[in-house]
Amino acid sequence: MQAILDANAIAQVGLRRYLHVLQGRSRELYPVWDKVLDILYKAEQKLFAQEGRTEEHDKWEKLSPRYAAWKKRHYPGKGILTLTRGLRESMTYPFDIHHVEKRPRRLTWGSHHLVSGGHDLGGIHAEGRDNMLPREPIRITQHNVDNIADTVVDYMLDIDLSQPRQAWEIE
């Protein structure tokens, strides 16, 4: 008696099972959101330290000469978007006031630093005003997107997220 195993048939069964597992993991991304938030917080820390400069963006627009002089007198040494540290800290540290909404397949994150009138300070700066040029307190670069995508892929492939990045590089 002989048994013949067809490698292609076995591979197809294995691939179907593997794809089924990947599909299931892609429907529930909750376990990966904290890792993604770490990437965003680190990106924001770098963004504020460099006053908006990234590998894809120039620095945030300079302050008007009048406001720059006032800020230098009243808040010496404070950079752009860091008058009281509230906005910066809400965007760079997980324990401060920020907005996070985790859903199975979507993560919403941003500032939640409210000022008079109930307006979000991050939104005010992103949009600008008549007397203030817009300055985006969130700038997601391609490098950030790649890191986030790699992290999500690692999760979907069931790679240990507590270890440094491990996903295979496919050329």
Could you tell me the maximum CA-CA distance found in the chain, to the nearest angstrom? Answer: 93
pLDDT of 125: 86
- Position 104 scores a pLDDT of 93
What pLDDT shows up at residue 96? 65
Q: Identify whether 20 is part of a domain.
A: no
> From residue 146, how far is each of 13, 40, 106, 162 by CA, in Å?
31, 12, 17, 18
Q: What is the pLDDT of residue 40?
A: 94
| Full residue range of the structural domain in which residue 143 is found | 29-156
Query: pTM above the 0.85 mark?
Result: no
Residue 122 lies in a domain: yes
* Nearest-angstrom CA–CA distance, 62 and 132: 10
- Cα dist from 30 to 37, 73, 163, whole Å: 11, 46, 18
**Is residue 104 one of the residues assigned to a domain?**
yes
Count of domains forming the chain? 1
> From the centroid of its chain, how far is CA 170?
24
Q: What is the pLDDT of residue 29?
A: 92
Low-confidence ranges of the chain (pLDDT < 50): none
Q: Within a domain: residue 1?
A: no
Q: Is residue 84 part of a domain?
A: yes
Predicted pLDDT at 44 = 93
CA atoms within 13 A on the CB side of 61: 14
Residue 18 domain flag: no
